[in-house]
């Protein structure tokens, strides 16, 4: 019996060691979709220390931090054009005269977490040094700077296998020993939702978003996707998302040039999708309307619901769509989206519309169960599902209701 016990003890130790050795991402991170701000949408590579310190300060004073936004992420353009003699990445000395560790310390001093960018290829999308061949060295450098989040892009990757490249960087982060969220930005080209659950905490599900709600707009010879382009590509992959592993429909364009209704709809839809919420506007010039959208805590609570279940499209007709998101405690969020260019009037009798979802196992008959209705944007209680609800939805706008027992 003693020999058996010794054998079982040794086996348990070996299993624990092997689990540690072969584990990749830090499983405890991103149990709800990450929230933060990223420099790319507004500034591209035109970033420097004074500008970004001002952005950090505004991040706090604007109420973003208190609303749940945590990460401050530098995108492309933070580094010098060449590595140093030892092969290390170097922060651009003109943009960051005090170095990247000092800037990370400043971010942390404000109660935020710090994120940084690089690329799986030989160069970044803007032509700076990429990580290919330097994965472990770069991960150790980021750990020494106390980085909390790495966005890893997919430019200049000819001949590189995506699964191998991202797995290698994931292992390098683990070996460096500092927990970092790993954001796979490979644009959904290799269906990362099928293989990246053990590699990173989130993965891009589509190409880049632009400042356009319904139809893509070409600027400077480039045509990014619109909000609705991206929305239409999410429903078929919702089963792959959940706590610690999220489909990422790209960063938010709220505050960057769309109408108020479109910004509100964009933000609502991303929350319904349980999407990472990465703002990308100039926080220093943010009007009250934009701040009210980004910091609507009732809408954010839908995004951050602990079940981590994406919405599904329940209904679609004549430009009107209804999305349903199962929430904890058998609650629901229901979003009425008006994709058309005219106001839509809704007379919705809940008793005629049972809600079933095979993925989440939700099965609700409103003839049997009555829910209270809360309008998330007007922040008003508007009755129960015992009576039909009458709504007017403006063009390119939404009404979002939270259903509670």
Q: Which among 346, 349, 299 is positioned nearest to 320, based on CA atoms?
A: 346
Active site residue 153: yes
Where is 383: in which H helix or E strand?
Answer: strand 380-384
Helix or strand or coil: residue 36?
strand
Which residue in the list 76, 92, 153, 397 is annotated as catalytic?
Answer: 153
Residue 217's region, left for phi above 0, alpha for psi from -120 to 50, else beta, is: beta
Q: How far apart are CA 272 and CA 270, in angstroms?
A: 5
Task: List beta partners, residue 225.
Answer: 209
Report the alpha-carbon distance of residue 3 to residue 166 in Å, rounded: 43
Cross-strand partners of 120: none
Rg (CA), the chain: 23
Smallest CA-to-CA distance from 261 within 374, 347, 344, 337 is with 337
Helix (H, G, I), strand (E, B) or coil at 139: helix
**Going by DSSP bridges, is the β-strand pair 181-184/202-204 parallel, antiparallel, or unpaired?**
parallel
84 assigned to active site: no
* Catalytic option among 48, 105, 146, 208: 208
How many angstroms separate the Cα of 99 from the Cα of each of 89, 93, 216? Answer: 11, 7, 38
The set of residues, in sequence order, having a beta carbon less than 8 Å from that of 210 and lying 6+ positions away, is 216, 217, 219, 223, 224, 225, 226, 253
Which amino acids are annotated catalytic? 153, 208
């Amino acid at each position: 019996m003693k020999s058996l016990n010794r054998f079982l003890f040794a086996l348990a130790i070996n299993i624990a060691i092997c689990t540690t050795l072969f584990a990749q991402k830090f499983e405890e991170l991103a149990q709800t979709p990450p929230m933060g701000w990223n420099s790319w949408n507004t500034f591209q590579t035109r970033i420097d220390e004074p500008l970004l310190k001002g952005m950090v300060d505004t991040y706090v004073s604007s109420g973003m931090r208190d609303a749940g936004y945590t990460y401050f992420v530098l995108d492309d353009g933070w580094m010098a054009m060449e590595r140093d003699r030892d092969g290390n990445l170097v922060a651009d000395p003109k943009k960051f005269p005090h170095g990247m560790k000092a800037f990370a310390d400043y971010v942390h001093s404000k109660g935020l977490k710090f994120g940084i960018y690089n690329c799986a290829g030989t160069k970044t999308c803007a032509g700076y040094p990429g990580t290919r061949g330097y994965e472990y060295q770069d991960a150790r450098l980021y750990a020494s700077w106390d980085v909390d989040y790495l966005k890893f892009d997919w430019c200049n990757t000819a001949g590189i296998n995506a699964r191998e490249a991202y797995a290698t960087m994931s292992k390098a982060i683990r070996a460096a020993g500092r927990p970092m969220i790993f954001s796979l930005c490979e644009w959904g080209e290799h269906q990362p939702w099928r293989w990246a659950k053990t590699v990173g905490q989130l993965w891009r599900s589509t190409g880049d978003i632009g400042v356009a709600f319904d139809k893509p707009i070409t600027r400077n010879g480039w045509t990014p996707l619109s909000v609705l382009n991206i929305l239409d590509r999410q429903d078929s992959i919702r089963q792959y998302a959940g706590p610690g592993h999220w489909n990422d429909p790209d960063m938010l364009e709220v505050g960057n040039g769309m109408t108020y209704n479109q910004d509100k709809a964009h933000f609502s839809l991303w929350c319904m999708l349980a999407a990472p919420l990465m703002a990308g506007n100039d926080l220093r010039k943010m009007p009250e309307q934009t701040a009210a959208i980004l910091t609507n805590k009732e809408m954010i609570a839908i995004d951050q619901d602990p079940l981590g279940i994406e919405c599904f499209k329940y209904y679609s007709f004549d430009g009107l769509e209804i999305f349903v998101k199962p929430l904890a405690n058998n609650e629901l969020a229901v979003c009425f989206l008006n994709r058309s260019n005219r106001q839509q009037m809704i007379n919705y009798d809940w008793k005629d519309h049972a809600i079933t979802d095979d993925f989440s196992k939700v099965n609700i008959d409103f003839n049997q169960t009555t829910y209270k209705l809360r309008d998330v944007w007007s922040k008003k209680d508007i009755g129960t599902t015992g009576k039909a609800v009458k709504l007017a939805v403006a063009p390119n706008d939404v009404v979002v209701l939270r259903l509670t027992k």
